[in-house]
Amino acid sequence: MSSILPPRPRHVGSKVRICVIASRYNEEFTDALVENAIEELGDLIPQSRVDLVRVPGAFEIPVAVSNVLNRDQPACVIALGVIIRGATAHADLVAESVTTALQGMAVQHIVPIINEVLLVDDEKQAYARCVGANLNRGKEAARAAASIIDVFQEMERTFPRPLPR
């Protein structure tokens, strides 16, 4: 895991639509992730359209992503949530389930999904990753989204799809 934010990618050239799907659970932290991601997207891709969908908890994020991808595919999806470990293995099970589902959909739909559904040990770790300036996963998610959108646009220019026969 990085200890500081990665460098900002270059600006993406064209108008794109990005969907942010975020949990409401652990609201103090998820709200900060959302605010930081959307602010950073506005700086990196000023012409972008950002749609925000809020769901009850992290476990509901994959089904909301699936719903979006089956309706109208955005250039990228950013999944945001915070899972704080407790005394049982429940948090680990939820985090693994969410990660597996998101990766499967990304590959199936060929749409980048940035997974910043964080699994942390306590509120101190959540604060550092969601609210803090040095290790802000909301900003990091936006930078990863801008970077992969740029990669996909370059791939489209380099490897255009054949015309239908």
- Active-site residues, by number, are 90
**CA-closest candidate to residue 30, choices 96, 97, 79, 87:** 79
Taking a C-beta distance cutoff of 8 angstroms, is the pair 85, 110 a contact?
no
**CA-closest candidate to residue 141, choices 76, 61, 60, 51:** 76
**CA-closest candidate to residue 149, choices 3, 33, 2, 18:** 18
59: which DSSP letter?
G
Alpha helices in 45-136 (DSSP H): 61-71, 90-109, 123-130
CB-based contacts of 60, cutoff 8 Å, min separation 6: 23
8: which DSSP letter?
P
